[in-house]
Structure 1
Amino acid sequence: MARTTLTRDEVLAAAASLVRQHGPAALTMRKLAAELGTAVTSIYWHVGNRESLLDALVERTVQEMGAIRPAGRTPVERILSVARTLRRELRGRPHLIAMVHERGLTERMFLPAQQALVHEVHAAGLRGARAADAVRAVQFQIVGYLLVERNRERSPAQSPAESDLWDPSAAPDDPELARALARPADPERLFLLSVRALVGSLLAAPPPPPR
């Protein structure tokens, strides 16, 4: 029996779930109606046609991505918290993020994170072009790391694997390094390590001009 009550938010939530699990191609009005237990005409009444539905989903994703609240006692820790939150949000909804990008709203989606980063680099004493460079460098580091990370996840199994290539004989002068490289990488730890190093360098006092 078809549902008699349905809200626009319920339709968008169900559509977002379908896209998150199976990608935009899996989102059809018929499949969405079946997911909600309602008639296709009810879906059209709430959100319009499929293009209107996709636009509404993009807007919903942009709004969800807006809630980034820095945490920590120092600018470095607070910037790290922004980076960690942004990476988690982007990883959690890759198909929806792709839809946002395809509809030309990527910069708008990143604006709240940029505003949070601006506030923190200002708190650290940076201004002007140096502050803008710091914000963009952190943003590029987050997105670039995520792209590499997802590419590694999607790549076929490697043979020989990294663990096969690094045995103690491969680095006789540094067996501890060989053992470390033979272990699986910890993406979260490496992400925080790289962002912390970048931010520490960006916030450090600039070197004196050459004489």
Structure 2
Amino acid sequence: MARNPLTREEVLEAAASLVRRHGPAALTMRGLAADLGTAVTSIYWHVGNRESLLDALVERTVQEMGAVRPVGRTPAARILSVARILRRELRGRPHLIAMVHERGLTERMFLPAQQALVHEVHAAGLRGARAADAVRAIQFQIVGFLLVERNRERSPAQSPAEGDLWDPATAPDDPALARALSRPADPERLFLLSVRALTEALLARPGD
């Protein structure tokens, strides 16, 4: 049975999947055509040359990153939901995000998330420079945490590891701390802990 005609969106989705798995260098027109079971000329017909395809992937990534829909009953809860969405989306497509950055579109990509954060800090009663500082501090915390997290994941095996360096003798006045530091870190829990603490401090009114 003949397949339905190939669409531009199918080409872009296949290209994005290939980049997510193997990086931009693995994206060739011939390889993409093979993945889709079509002729190379069909790929060119839908997206132009490889550079045009990369531009389209970057634009698609920017648009997808704009789908930020906060949830929660309070501004602080909704800010935390924005942070979780951003971390998930950024972690899920590192190669595509790098392509966005290389083309100088990072600020535009983050604009919808910034706008969502602005809405929530306004809802919490912040205005002007204080609101702007809160939005940027939260954004920097999200991105900075992700960079540290990915650096730890990519770093060579450590010897001794963090867990080997902590035992009750290392912190005799706080053995519970030593035991906790000897266990592997939970990035998700630490991320939520840090963003929640920062958000609560930023949204607190003087005198609270």
For Structure 1 versus Structure 2, the TM-score category normalised by the shorter chain is over 0.9
Match in the other structure for 1:144: 144
Match in the other structure for 1:189: 189
Question: How far did residue 144 of structure 1 move?
Answer: 0.3
The alignment's C-alpha RMSD in Å is 1.2
Match in the other structure for 2:8: 8
Q: Which amino acid in 1 is paired with 2:64?
A: E
Question: How far did residue 206 of structure 1 move?
Answer: 3.6
Q: Which amino acid in 2 is paired with 1:145?
A: F
Q: Which amino acid in 1 is paired with 2:18?
A: L
1:162 and 2:168 correspond: no
Question: How far did residue 4 of structure 1 move?
Answer: 7.1
Matches within 5 A, 1:97-112: 97-112=97-112
Residues in 2 aligned to 1:4 and 1:165: alpha-carbon distance in whole angstroms = 60
Match in the other structure for 2:74: 74
Task: Flag as ranges the 4+ runs of structure 1 deviating above 6 A.
Answer: none
Kindly, what percent of the aligned residue pairs are identical? 88
Residues in 2 aligned to 1:164 and 1:99: alpha-carbon distance in whole angstroms = 38
Q: Which runs of 5+ in 1 are unaligned?
A: none
Match in the other structure for 1:59: 59
Q: Deviations over 1:173-200 (max 9, x none)?
A: 1000000000100000000111111111
Question: How far did residue 95 of structure 1 move?
Answer: 0.2
Question: How far did residue 3 of structure 1 move?
Answer: 6.4
Q: Which amino acid in 1 is paired with 2:9?
A: D
Whether contact under 8 Å (1:76, 1:199) holds in the other structure is yes
TM-score, normalisation: structure 1: 0.95
Whether contact under 8 Å (1:3, 1:38) holds in the other structure is no
Question: How far did residue 92 of structure 1 move?
Answer: 0.3
Match in the other structure for 2:199: 199
Match in the other structure for 1:32: 32
Match in the other structure for 2:113: 113
Match in the other structure for 1:96: 96
Q: Which runs of 5+ in 2 are unaligned?
A: none
Secondary structure class of the residue paired with 2:169:
helix
Question: How far did residue 104 of structure 1 move?
Answer: 1.0
Matched residue pairs, number?
A: 206
Q: Deviations over 1:62-106 (max 9, x none)?
A: 111111111111111110000011000000000000001111111
Q: Which amino acid in 2 is paired with 1:184?
A: P
Secondary structure class of the residue paired with 2:177:
helix
Whether contact under 8 Å (1:69, 1:82) holds in the other structure is yes
